[in-house]
Amino acid sequence: MSRSLLVAGALACLPACQLPTGPGIAPPPVNGEWSGTFESSWGALPVRATLANDSRTSPSFSGQLRIDGQRATGTVSGDLETRDQYSGTMFWGTLTISYLSSGEMCRSESAFLYTHGSVSEKAVFFSTDDFPKGNCPDPPTNIHITLRR
């Protein structure tokens, strides 16, 4: 009986638990300007980004994206997880995209569970399948973003 209570208690905690970061291991700093490629059903387009995080106090980061060629902008935000010094830092979060459609600005968002990637001081990679939430017609699919300093 006590074993099943312990398991039930552990399972009840899961939704409220934050992503673990190993003791004393801070996520890499990503503050600053980045450039790279936005690859999707729209093709391969140049992208520029301004990213920010406070690697000392929070295992998260956010940023603004500017996608050339489609006159689109977007955001990225999420949590960073560094388990140990060997496995690198992983990212889970959301992407948004905004662009003009029929003279009006639309906005769509990716699903948190399906937006992921990796982060280092010199390179950031993230991807998602699509943007299921929002009002943008024909948003890009199969998105892979590669950023470098």
**46-66 pLDDT per residue, tens:** 999 999 997 666 788 899 999
CA distance 76 to 88: 19
CA distance 29 to 56: 9
DSSP 3-state of 16: helix
Of 146, 144, 141, nearest to 42 by C-alpha is 141
Maximum Cα interatomic distance, the chain, rounded to a whole number of Å = 63
Q: How high is the pLDDT of residue 57? A: 66
Q: How high is the pLDDT of residue 2? A: 47
Q: How high is the pLDDT of residue 21? A: 45
Q: Give every residue of the chain whose pLDDT is below 50, as ranges.
A: 2-22
Whole-prediction pTM: 0.80
Q: How high is the pLDDT of residue 74? A: 97
Domains of the chain: 2-148 (2.40.160)
CA distance 99 to 108: 9
Q: How high is the pLDDT of residue 15? A: 44
